[in-house]
Structure 1
Amino acid sequence: MSLLEIITPENPVLRKKAIKVTEFNDPKFQQLIDDMIETMIDAPGVGLAAPQVAVSKRLIVVRLPNESEEDFEEHGDQAGVVHVVANPKIIKKSKNTVSGVEGCLSLPGIAGEVDRAEMVVVTGQDRNGKEWRLKAKGWLARVFQHEIDHLDGVLFTDLTDKVWQQSAEDEEEEVVE
């Protein structure tokens, strides 16, 4: 496995609509997944979309923290679970929205307040092409919405006017990345 370079908006791949994944048995695709997981954890982040590593594929990886007892209390059985989802779609979302602070590995040092659905149902395929489905709430729902936006060339800064440069205190707080 190896760490991948996380691109910034100067690279046009980040703003393009990503291409559907069709080849699941390709060793290069499987290597991309492993490298994305390693890159996300090393960054550190809680999600990463293939366009963020300059690969125009509809692929995301998501993992909520599991480093502390508080992580397990907050995230329950989702703490530390790695979700690999190809061709993800939000098929249902709650009408209730919640405002939260987000950051992005492709926008280092920038944070913003974004309204997101409180709950989403996401479908797609796992790393082997099998159908996959998850009902996500709270922070996990926010992470999935953020990462799926990347697949359509949308950055969190496109969804809000409340954006700021992070301070040292901000960086200590957990934000979606």
Structure 2
Amino acid sequence: MTILPIRIYGDPVLHDVAQPVGDIDDSIRELVADMYDTMDAAPGVGLAGPQVGVGKRLFVYSYEEESTGERWRDVAIDPVLWLAPTEPESLLELDEDSEIEGCLSFPGERYPLRRSEQALMRARNLEGEEYELRVSGWMARILQHEFDHLNGVIYCDRLEHPWHKDAFKRMRKRSWGGPGKSWLPGTDNLEG
């Protein structure tokens, strides 16, 4: 398998709505295998097609809930996502510990972001079988984050002030925000 370069904020594929996968063929199977290798090498808990330069509606995910030992590791092909309503941010302070989020396409940075506590996803796996996943907590956050990638949204686009301002200041300092920027897990060190 191959570790793929991860596109950095500003690359056009990250900001476009991804197209349906449709038929699952050997090229999709190979892409998914490479995406698992890339996600694991990063390391990350999810990785969407656009993040590796493929504008298709699919993502891989891998997460273990420490408190329960429950594990999730699969691919979501052409997913649909429903969310439980969230509390308005104006009524609650963001918790910088429990609501912190990062992104492999905005490497080395983490910011608090309000997400829905519960999510329901329907998708196809690599065999083309439809499945349903009803989750809460961090796994719900992961699904929302990766689903956003399929719609051309990066988590830092959703940040509130002052975190939004700080994220884009750091992006300008690193000369991100345009096409052609990427990093290769296991080779490039972009943390911090």
TM-score (norm 1): 0.82
What amino acid is aligned across from residue 85 of structure 2 in structure 1? K
Aligned to 1:10: 10
Shift of 1:60: 0.5
CA spacing shift, 1:123–1:60, aligned 2, 3 Å = same
Aligned to 2:67: 74
Write the deviation string for residues 42-91 of structure 1: whole angstroms up to 9, x where unpaired: 100000000000000000101014xxxxx5x335222xx31211011113
Aligned to 2:74: 83
Equivalent residue of 1:76, what SS? coil
Could you tell me how far apart the structure 2 residues matched to 1:154 and 1:75 are? 31
Aligned 1:121-136 pairs, distance under 5 A = 121-136=120-135
Aligned to 1:175: none
Shift of 1:111: 1.5
Aligned to 1:171: none
CA spacing shift, 1:127–1:43, aligned 2, 3 Å = same
Could you tell me how far apart the structure 2 residues matched to 1:49 and 1:38 are? 13
Shift of 1:137: 0.7
Could you tell me how far apart the structure 2 residues matched to 1:74 and 1:108 are? 27
| Cα contact 1:30–1:127 (8 A) shared by 2 | yes
1:27 partnered with 2:26? yes
Shift of 1:159: 0.9
Could you tell me how far apart the structure 2 residues matched to 1:137 and 1:63 are? 15
Aligned to 1:172: none
TM-score (norm 2): 0.76
Aligned to 1:169: none
Rg: which structure is higher? Answer: 2
| Cα contact 1:51–1:57 (8 A) shared by 2 | yes
Could you tell me how far apart the structure 2 residues matched to 1:38 and 1:82 are? 13
Write the deviation string for residues 108-145 of structure 1: whole angstroms up to 9, x where unpaired: 12221110000100011111211111001100000000
Could you tell me how far apart the structure 2 residues matched to 1:21 and 1:74 are? 35
The two structures, once aligned, show a CA RMSD in angstroms of 1.8
| Cα contact 1:64–1:75 (8 A) shared by 2 | no
Could you tell me how far apart the structure 2 residues matched to 1:76 and 1:117 are? 22
CA spacing shift, 1:75–1:37, aligned 2, 3 Å = farther
Aligned to 1:103: 102
Could you tell me how far apart the structure 2 residues matched to 1:114 and 1:83 are? 25
- Greater helix share, structure number: 1
What amino acid is aligned across from residue 104 of structure 1 in structure 2? C
What amino acid is aligned across from residue 88 of structure 1 in structure 2? P
Shift of 1:158: 1.1
> Number of paired residues?
156
Aligned to 1:116: 115
Structure 1 segments of 4 or more deviating over 3 A? 96-99, 163-166
Query: Which range is displaced more, 104-113 or 41-50?
Result: 104-113
Percent identity reads 37
